Amino acid sequence: MSKAIKEVNLFDYDEDSIKSLDWKEHIRLRPGMYIGKLGDGSSPDDGIYVLVKEVLDNCIDEFTMGYGKTVEITIEKNQVTIRDYGRGIPLGKVVDVVSKINTGAKYDSKAFQKSVGLNGVGTKAVNALSNYFKVTAIREGKEKTAEFERGNLIREHKETKTGESNGTIVTFIPDDTVFKNFKFLYEFLENQIWNYCFLNAGLKIVFNGKSFVSKNGLLDLLQRKTNEDENRYPIIHLTGDDIEVAITHNNDYGEDIYSFVNGQHTTQGGTHQQAFREAYVKTIRDFFKKDYDASDIRTGIVAAVSVRVVEPVFESQTKTKLGSINVDLNGPSMKQFVGDFFAKELDNFLHKNPTTAEALKKRIEQSEKERKEMAGVRKLANERAKKANLHNRKLRDCRYHMDDEPPAKGKEAYIAKQNETTIFITEGDSASGSITKARDVETQAVFSLRGKPLNCFGLTKKVVYENEEFNLLQHALNIEDGMEGLRYNNVVIATDADVDGMHIRLLLMTFFLQFFPDLVKHGKVYVLETPLFRVRNKQETIYCYSEQEKLSAMKKLGSKPEVTRFKGLGEISPDEFAQFIGADMRKQMMRLDQGDHIQQLLEFYMGKNTPDRQEFIIENLRIETDEPVAAV
pLDDT for position 145 = 95
Nearest CA to 331 among 243, 252, 398?
A: 243
Whether the pLDDT of residue 86 is over 60: the answer is yes
pLDDT tens-digit readout, 260-305 = 988 788 888 888 899 999 999 999 999 999 999 999 999 999 999 9
pLDDT for position 107 = 40
The residue ranking higher by pLDDT, 158 or 26, is 158
CATH class of 218-371: alpha beta
- Please give the full DSSP string across 444-497, using - where no structure is assigned: EEEEEE-SPPP--TT--THHHHHSHHHHHHHHHHT-TT-GGG---SEEEEE--S
The residue ranking higher by pLDDT, 416 or 386, is 416
Q: Rounded to 5 degrees, what are φ and ψ at 377?
A: -65, -40
Between helix 610-620 and helix 598-606 the angle, nearest 10°, is: 90
pLDDT tens-digit readout, 322-352 = 777 777 767 788 899 999 999 999 999 999 9
Classify domain 388-530+567-602 at the CATH topology level. Rossmann fold (3.40.50)
pLDDT for position 35 = 80
Rg (alpha carbons) of the chain, rounded to whole number: 26
Rounded Cα–Cα distance for residues 267 and 591 (Å) = 16
Burial 404-434 (b: 16+ CB within 10 A, else e): eebeeeeeeebbbbbbbbbbbbbbbeebbbb
Burial 30-50 (b: 16+ CB within 10 A, else e): ebbbbbbbbbbbbbbbbbbbb
Question: For residue 543, with 0-12 CB atoms within 10 Å meaning exposed, 13-18 middle and 19 or more buried, which class applies?
Answer: buried
* Model confidence band, residue 632 (pLDDT cutoffs 50, 70, 90): very low
Task: Give the long-range contacts of residues 542-546, CB within 8 A, separation 24 or more.
Answer: 543/576, 543/579, 543/580, 545/586, 546/624
The residue ranking higher by pLDDT, 558 or 328, is 558
Q: Rounded to 5 degrees, what are φ and ψ at 65?
A: -80, 0
Mean pLDDT of 72-78: 94
Mean pLDDT of 601-623: 68
Whether the pLDDT of residue 321 is over 80: the answer is no
Strands (E), 7-78: 70-76
pLDDT tens-digit readout, 33-70 = 788 778 888 888 888 998 999 899 889 888 888 898 99
Q: Which residues pair with 143 in a beta bridge?
A: 138, 160
Report the predicted TM-score, pTM, of the whole model to 2 decimal places: 0.76
DSSP state of 18: -
Question: In whole angstroms, what separates CA 235 from the centre of its chain?
Answer: 25
Whether the pLDDT of residue 409 is over 50: the answer is yes
Rounded Cα–Cα distance for residues 110 and 90 (Å) = 16
pLDDT for position 111 = 41
Mean pLDDT of 205-225: 93
pLDDT for position 393 = 66
**Contact in structure between 39 and 46 (CB atoms under 8 Å):** yes
pLDDT tens-digit readout, 417-428 = 888 899 999 987
**Sheet containing strand 243-249, strands side by side:** 236-240, 243-249, 301-307, 256-261, 264-265
pLDDT tens-digit readout, 482-513 = 788 899 999 999 988 778 888 899 899 999 98
Where do the CATH 3.30.230.10 domains begin and end in the chain?
A: 218-371
**Contact in structure between 611 and 534 (CB atoms under 8 Å):** no
Q: Rounded to 5 degrees, what are φ and ψ at 455?
A: -75, 105
Whether the pLDDT of residue 570 is over 80: the answer is no
pLDDT for position 350 = 96
pLDDT for position 109 = 46
Question: In whole angstroms, what separates CA 15 from the centre of its chain?
Answer: 41
pLDDT for position 102 = 54
Mean pLDDT of 115-125: 63
Second CATH level (architecture) for the domain 26-213: 2-Layer Sandwich (3.30)
What does the mean pLDDT of the chain come to?
84
**Contact in structure between 473 and 393 (CB atoms under 8 Å):** no
Rounded Cα–Cα distance for residues 600 and 573 (Å) = 40
- Please give the full DSSP string across 234-261, using - where no structure is assigned: PPEEEEETTEEEEEEE-S-SS-EEEEEE
Where do the CATH 3.30.565.10 domains begin and end in the chain?
A: 26-213
Mean pLDDT of 466-475: 88
pLDDT for position 631 = 34
**Contact in structure between 154 and 172 (CB atoms under 8 Å):** no
Whether the pLDDT of residue 604 is over 80: the answer is no
Rounded Cα–Cα distance for residues 359 and 87 (Å) = 48
The residue ranking higher by pLDDT, 288 or 77, is 288
**Contact in structure between 243 and 306 (CB atoms under 8 Å):** yes
pLDDT for position 613 = 67
